[in-house]
Chain A
Amino acid sequence: DTGVSQNPRHKITKRGQNVTFRCDPISEHNRLYWYRQTLGQGPEFLTYFQNEAQLEKSRLLSDRFSAERPKGSFSTLEIQRTEQGDSAMYLCASSFPEQGVIGYTFGSGTRLTVV
């Protein structure tokens, strides 16, 4: 399977715990995006990497959130001290540099439930 892979698919955690999600993009895609989708809403942009460089972060990404993409390959999204409002689907996507011609490829997402 050469698609975008996200793990885990589901995560249930207690409020206040830290969680980390992983995204493995399509290998030749150098752009990687994280989005968050809450129930009944469209996905909202969180952050963007070009290779290993994090080039843009949304103001939605509070200081409890951190994302990395070491060596420009897989990426991790960590949420510290989770809150109930963090419950959402976290989507990763990747693309070629000329994204406008291709469009993103999305992963299946990680659904986070904070109890």
Chain B
Amino acid sequence: AQSVTQLGSHVSVSEGALVLLRCNYSSSVPPYLFWYVQYPNQGLQLLLKYTSAATLVKGINGFEAEFKKSETSFHLTKPSAHMSDAAEYFCAVSRTSGTYKYIFGTGTRLKVLA
């Protein structure tokens, strides 16, 4: 079975500050891991993905995430927050074969303070 835990349903940072959104996963098999962003009343946009290649993954809009197998974590970071980063962020896990269905976390709403 697979599951995802996102610590912190709401995170606030000042503009220009470091963004850190936490994601821990559980999987009985090597997983694929994803971060998606959702703006209000919109679908989800892929930020980045881990597919068993490099453990440090760079995505769009300056975001990156590091896969740490020993900690079963895949935390999302961005060195300097912009106002436009305010959105909801979802971490997801899937198997590496079969249906590739996602198991999503409950999401973290990021607020950026001016």
Contacts and interface: CB of A to CB of B under 8 A. Distances in A.
Interface size, B (range): 20 to 34
Given A100-B94, A106-B43, A109-B42, A44 B51 contact: no
Contacts of B36: 106
Contacts of B106: 40-42
A56 B90 contact: no
Contacts of A41: 106-107
A45 B99 CA distance: 11
B101 A100 contact: no
Interface in B12-59: 32, 34, 36, 41-46, 49, 51
B99 A106 contact: no
B23 to A, nearest CB: 11
Contacts of A44: 104
B101 A45 contact: yes
Nearest to A4: B43
Nearest to A105: B46
B96 interface: yes
A103 B34 contact: yes
A98 to B, nearest CB: 9
A111 interface: yes
Contacts of B51: 100-101
B41 A111 contact: yes
Given A45-B101, A56-B101, A104 B32 contact: no
Interface of B: 4, 9, 32, 34, 36, 41-46, 49, 51, 90, 92, 94, 96, 99-107
17 contacts: A4-B43, A6-B43, A42-B90, A42-B106, A42-B107, A45-B101, A45-B102, A45-B103, A48-B101, A55-B99, A91-B44, A99-B94, A99-B100, A100-B32, A100-B51, A103-B46, A103-B49
